A and B are shown apart, each in its own frame.
Chain A
């Protein structure tokens, strides 16, 4: 599990992503960046196995509206859940 610090500019819609292997370090940087941020910058710490997984569950940070819908529709998320729950 990796930690991903997301800094998303609401005005430009640009997203910067910093990846951490050390959760404690990620948490420290998260607190610092959040305290220093300007109002139009979202700062959020997310955890996922990969950046790819993150892009699937938090697509708004990475894609425009029509693209996130297209990607969502074309995905086939986790058919294995049927086996797990069966």
Chain B
């Protein structure tokens, strides 16, 4: 029965996915929610199947926070938008992203996930861990794994912010083309170097935690 119900969403998924592709010039991937996932969702929340708005889902990964915001704006101009969910500063069990619930021409909801590459890395790490223990997806699981995922989520958010700062510094530096010398150019060069160093340090911490997680999970 669920298979038949899910199949009704496929044309809407294709329609919204194509609209996303043309609006953002990206190559989104998309999926129809598995029976296992929807059953887990229904068991955790007091909602009906007809209220599940991510039976059909589409995903884009963008470079950084600035691109993420501009992508959401572009989708707002191209889709019939039911709602926008911003989980960047209020994560769901560590998961950060922006979701746009679009409505197809025949009224079916399609969830569009817009993730930065850092947010996507975290999501894949978490889902990989959850494939061993489904409780991890909803904040449960072994405390030591939970702790690492929570710390990775925080460092990931910091990394995204530091990248945004670095891009601003880079833009300011680019704007001084022709001013290779002088106090302003030197200050901007220093700022650029420092922001780059901050990004590298944050990513190094991120990688080290991932290595710990990998050892813990035996991977």
Chain A residues with a Cβ under 8 A of chain B: 1, 8, 10, 13, 23, 27, 30-31, 34-35, 42-50, 53-54, 56-60, 64-66, 68-70, 72-73, 75-86
Contact = CB atoms under 8 A, between A and B. Distances in A.
A68 B71 contact: no
A80 B25 CA distance: 6
Interface of B: 3, 7, 10, 13-14, 17, 23-32, 34-36, 59-63, 66-67, 70-71, 73-74, 117-118, 120-121, 124-125, 127-128, 131-132, 203, 206-207, 210-211, 213-214, 217, 219
A47 B30 contact: yes
B218 to A, nearest CB: 10
Given A23-B10, A72-B120, A78-B25, A60 B128 contact: yes
8 contacts: A31-B3, A42-B34, A47-B13, A57-B120, A66-B207, A68-B124, A77-B63, A81-B25
A64 B117 contact: no
A73 B14 CA distance: 29
Given A64-B219, A66-B214, A78-B62, A84 B25 contact: yes
A80 B26 contact: yes
A72 B117 contact: yes
Given A34-B3, A73-B203, 6 more contacts: A8-B131, A57-B60, A57-B61, A69-B206, A77-B117, A81-B67
B26 A86 contact: no
B121 A72 contact: yes
Contacts of B132: 10
